[in-house]
A and B are shown apart, each in its own frame.
Chain A
Amino acid sequence: MSLEIDSVSKWFGAFAALDKVSLVGAEGEFLALLGPSGSGKTTLLRILAGLERPDAGVVRFNGEDLSGTSARDRRAGFVFQHYALFRHMTVAKNIAFGLEVRRGAEKLPKKEIAARVERLLALVQLDTLGGRYPAQLSGGQRQRVALARALAIEPRMLLLDEPFGALDAKVRRELRRWLRGLHAEMGLTTIFVTHDQEEALDLADRVVVMNNGRIEQVGAPADVYGRPANAFVYDFMGGANRLPCDVRGGVVTFGGFAASTGDHAPGPDRAALAYARAHDIRVAPEGQPGLPATVLAVFPAGGQPRVECRLGDGQVVEAAVRTGDPWPALGQRIALQPERVRVFE
């Protein structure tokens, strides 16, 4: 047990940014704090770094209570969303900063600092750019400098606030892959904040889904995506369709078509709303059991061929077309068969 967050709360005035949040992170674990803006994820990260003080609760690292340890002494490598590089220093000076401000017995000789900076520059693949200023670098390069600077102090944990938020999609994917490799290599307990569910699912060992200052679900990416604990998590993971259904004797049906709910009990008998992702909804010809719908648009290109259709109540739903199934035409009447769904109480 390396990192322990124990009923941490934080208020900004009357607004509860964090409401008794508890979480345990294992040594070397890669955790994602995922949630919409205002969910408290950045506040939690800043509390871990010591940049904010919790109003209640305790953070422990390897059993040691960090409450009395200032941000300065926590040795938490923090990477800011907008990098926060020292603009008047070269890349090398930025990276050396954490070593140069050391005092007393911890002070390193200049040669040792220079050698470490060289190693870190190589690690983040910026060997030749040590003499540049931050303004002369691209976004992705700045991000890597920020990371090298945080790693220079040999942190006990690495905290990243929306690390890829300000980068374009291609650079983001490259950096993501690179960061995953780096984590595998160094084994440093790493926590990053993101509002991008794809990023969280791609990178993290475990995903912590947050909403309104609380944790909605903690689990491996496959769990959070495949077995969301509640409607919020399902919705936030993306691609959610809300479909009217009947629950009777633990079976969920859509116009006579029975769907699987996996290991999730749909609850008491009632008319309810079921959650289904596009690729779990099959497009069947009109007349078959299922929800009657009209095709509004077809998207044959891309990784997931899909159609957009309108239900009888006017709701728009996305459904997938399986390989081998015939493509429906625009305006055609079809039946939607949600094969795997979740019904939350």
Chain B
Amino acid sequence: MSGGGSLRGRRDPAPVRYTLIALTLLYLSLFIGLPLAAVFAEALREGWGEYLKAITDPDAIAAMQLTLLVAAIAVPVNVVFGVCAAWAIAKFDFAGKSLLVTLIDLPFSVSPVVSGLVYVLLYGANGWFGPVLDALGIKIIFTVTGLVLATMFVTFPFVARELIPLMQAQGRDEEEAALTLGAGGWQTFLRVTLPNIRWALLYGVLLCNARAMGEFGAVSVVSGHIRGQTNTMPLHVEILYNEYSFVAAFAVASLLALLALVTLVAKTLLEWRFRDDLAAVRRH
């Protein structure tokens, strides 16, 4: 990137440099490294045998499957709606646009517990739509449907927030050029818009996925904690911990931590593998 040369050329005095680096490292290890290490240390305290037993427990496996299922539904849905919302906001002018932007941010500013409670209020047995749903034989609260809905709500901003500034910066010129060259709407999206936003989209998907699998608050309210049925991994960790099964709790938690690390590595790898492409896009 331009400007790097001049910055690299300027050297702060050595004591300042080392103090800053040391402070950063200390902070990182104290608040991120240490807890992360503790998770794995606790999980393996009684050896690999206990660890494996904990994560192959039927309830633990059910929780993993449920977490994967919830993410597998919530993430693609959010990708579709996130792209739609970002497209609408970035490429069109309409009344109420700023209200829509604010609404997209809502899940960030509302406590997840509150989101969960709102779902109970709306769709629970005694909720607003409870009687209607009951008559139709649809159950949402304390079911997988409720988990998926709550997760979708909480993760909604991730994809849209990544895309909106990028799409706004890119403007409509390329889409208009495609149009005058004879491309249809779908062709334009697949051949022009999507390639231009793919990295931001992927980034959004990674973050969205991490949150979808790790979400606790909203999911906790609508789940009902039915073991083997509506327990996701974070909920399962809580139950195990409350039952003083520390090794099992940390074993499952270590899987969540691993997921976070994998997300991080995947993101870094992608950035590294396509750095030329990314740089070309940024230079343009």
Contacts and interface: CB of A to CB of B under 8 A. Distances in A.
A97 B176 contact: no
A257 interface: no
Given A80-B173, A84-B177, A73 B182 contact: yes
B143 interface: no
A72 B184 contact: yes
A261 B167 CA distance: 56
Grouping DSSP codes into helix (H, G, I), strand (E, B) and loop, the B interface class, with mixed when no group exceeds half, is: helix
A88 B180 contact: no
A180 B192 CA distance: 31
B280 A87 contact: yes
Interface residues of B, number: 21
B179 A51 contact: yes
B137 to A, nearest CB: 45
A97 B283 CA distance: 22
Interface in B149-190: 173-174, 176-184, 187
A318 to B, nearest CB: 40
B180 A101 contact: no
Contacts, number: 77
A78 B281 contact: no
A77 interface: yes
A70 B181 CA distance: 11
B229 interface: no
Contacts of B187: 101
A101 B195 CA distance: 16
Contacts of B195: 86, 88-89
A135 B174 contact: no
B284 A134 contact: yes
A82 interface: yes
B183 A88 contact: no
Contacts of B174: 84-87
B176 A80 contact: yes
Contacts of A82: 173
Given A88-B195, A88-B196, A88-B281, A153 B181 contact: yes
B183 A80 contact: no
Contacts of A77: 180
Contacts of A88: 195-196, 277, 281
A146 to B, nearest CB: 8
Given A51-B176, A84-B176, A86-B174, A98 B181 contact: yes
Interface of B: 173-174, 176-184, 187, 191-192, 195-196, 277, 280-281, 283-284
Interface of A: 49-51, 70-78, 80, 82, 84-89, 97-98, 101-102, 133-136, 149-150, 152-153
5 contacts: A75-B182, A78-B176, A80-B176, A87-B281, A149-B181
